[in-house]
Amino acid sequence: MLALIDYGSGNIRSVENALRHEGADVKLISDPSRLADAQAVVLPGVGAFGDCARGLRERGLWEPIQQWLAADKPFLGICVGYQLLFEGGEESPGVSGFGFFGGQVRKFRAPGMKIPQIGWNSLDLTPHPLWSRIGEHPYVYFVHSYYPEPTDPAVTIARSTYGETFAAAAARGRVAGVQFHPEKSQTVGLEILRNFVAHI
């Protein structure tokens, strides 16, 4: 069973439908006790860093997810779900992330570029199982004003450029996160989700 974390963030149905399309046995989870039955976790996120962190804490999900990450179990964070893997960020000062990766979430400061970035952009990939059978510079769909800046560049598995180059995805062990929306990235996005499901 794949646990899709439901903590009041938007856009969860499109993620659920995309994962089901790729053969996953998806269950929406808002009760932390149900994580015991899961083989993998997907954490989506839409909105502000602080609001998403608060939603997880209010439902008692924060600590179980932190334990899941520490145990190196299969995990995929999407958009703000990716940003929450870091220590904190400029959007919500004083709000801590999971700290799985060292680093902060920064706001775009690219002069002349429209913020948020909304639309398609290409990736420069580093070899990783998530990218199996994907072309060299695939295009994926972004909606964001902030991006993580890892302390350790070695965890970055994809970069993209929007005025400035940023870490579009990061991974360590069986934990990964992507800033873009695979559920909105058509064939490439479905292939990424298929790869994640295949490696559970």
Q: Give me the residue label for tokens 């970069």.
A: 159
- Show the tokens assigned to 173: 């062990």
Catalytic residue among 79, 91, 144, 191: 79
What are the residues facing 170 on neighbouring strands?
Answer: 156, 177
User: Is 21 in the active site?
Assistant: no
- Show the tokens assigned to 117: 């970035």
Catalytic residue among 22, 91, 183, 191: 183
Catalytic residue among 16, 52, 144, 181: 181
Q: Which amino acid is at 106?
A: R
DSSP 31: S
CB 50 within 8 A of CB 9: no
Q: Give me the residue label for tokens 């995929």.
A: 76
Count other C-beta atoms under 10 Å from residue 93's C-beta: 9
User: Is 183 in the active site?
Assistant: yes
User: Is 52 in the active site?
Assistant: no
Among all residues, which ones are annotated catalytic? 79, 181, 183
